[in-house]
Structure 1
Amino acid sequence: MRLIQCEHQGRIHAALVERIDQVRLLDADTYTLARRASAAGQSLAQAVEAALTETHLDYQQLIDEKRLLPPLTHPDPAHCLVTGTGLTHLGSADTRSAMHAKTQVDEAELTDSMRMFKLGVEGGKPAPGEVGAQPEWFYKGDGSCVVAPEAEIPVPHFAEDAGEEPELAGLYVIGDDGQPWRVGHAIGNEFSDHVTERFNYLWLAHSKLRACSFGPELLVGELPDHLEGTSRIVRDGETLWEKPFLTGEANMAHSLANLEHHHFKYPGFRRPGDVHVHFFGTATLSFADGVQTRDDDRFEIDLPEFGRPLRNPLRFEVDNPDIAVKSL
Structure 2
Amino acid sequence: MSIIFECEYQGRRYAGHGIPAPGSTLTLYPVTDGQLHTALVAGEGPEALRDALPERSEPVEVALGDPGLTFLPPLLPTASNNALINGFMGTHRSKFDRAPEPDEKFTPPNYYIKGFGSWLRMPDEPLTTMAEPIWLLEEPEVVLVYANDDEGVPHYAGYTFGNDLNDIGLHLENPWAWTPYAKLCETSIAPWLFLDAPPEKVTGTVTIERDGGPAWQGPFSCGADSLFHRIPDMADYIFSYPHLRRPGLVNYLFLGADKATYHDGFRIENGDRMVLDVSSHGVVLANQVRYGTRAPK
TM-score greater than 0.5 by the shorter chain = yes
The one-letter code of the counterpart of 2:100 is V
8 Å Cα contact 1:230/1:242 also seen in 2: yes
1:147 matched to 2:147: no
Match of 1:245 in 2: 220
Aligned partner of residue 4 in structure 1, secondary structure: strand
The one-letter code of the counterpart of 2:27 is R
Q: 1:145 to 1:47 in 2, by over 3 A?
A: closer
- Percent sequence identity is 27
Rounded Cα–Cα distance in structure 2 between residues aligned with 1:206 and 1:92: 22
Match of 1:45 in 2: 47
Aligned partner of residue 233 in structure 1, secondary structure: strand
Match of 2:291 in 1: 316
The count of corresponding residues between Structure 1 and Structure 2 is 290
Matches for 1:239-278 after TM superposition, within 5 Å: 239-278=214-253
How far 1:79 sits from its partner (Å)? 1.7
Rounded Cα–Cα distance in structure 2 between residues aligned with 1:12 and 1:152: 23
How far 1:269 sits from its partner (Å)? 0.6
1:57 matched to 2:62: yes
User: Which whole-Å deviations, capped at 9, do the CAs of 1:177-209 have from their partners, x for residues lacking one?
Assistant: 111011111111011101101112122222112
Aligned partner of residue 4 in structure 2, secondary structure: strand
Q: 1:91 to 1:31 in 2, by over 3 A?
A: farther
The one-letter code of the counterpart of 2:221 is L
Matches for 1:148-297 after TM superposition, within 5 Å: 148-202=122-176, 203-297=178-272
Q: Return 5+ residue gaps in structure 1 as ranges.
A: 94-113, 323-328
8 Å Cα contact 1:218/1:306 also seen in 2: no
User: Which whole-Å deviations, capped at 9, do the CAs of 1:222-244 have from their partners, x for residues lacking one?
Assistant: 33311211112111221111111
Aligned partner of residue 149 in structure 1, secondary structure: coil
Q: Return 5+ residue gaps in structure 2 as ranges.
A: none
User: Which whole-Å deviations, capped at 9, do the CAs of 1:38-63 have from their partners, x for residues lacking one?
Assistant: 22x3444344334235323333x15x
How far 1:213 sits from its partner (Å)? 1.0
Q: 1:207 to 1:47 in 2, by over 3 A?
A: closer
Match of 2:76 in 1: 73
Aligned partner of residue 240 in structure 1, secondary structure: strand
Q: 1:134 to 1:217 in 2, by over 3 A?
A: same
Rounded Cα–Cα distance in structure 2 between residues aligned with 1:306 and 1:201: 33
The one-letter code of the counterpart of 2:60 is T
Rounded Cα–Cα distance in structure 1 between residues aligned with 2:216 and 2:286: 14
Q: 1:66 to 1:154 in 2, by over 3 A?
A: farther
How far 1:65 sits from its partner (Å)? 5.6
Match of 2:4 in 1: 3
TM-score between both structures, scaled by the size of structure 1: 0.80
Task: Please identify the structure whose Cα radius of gyration is greater.
Answer: 1
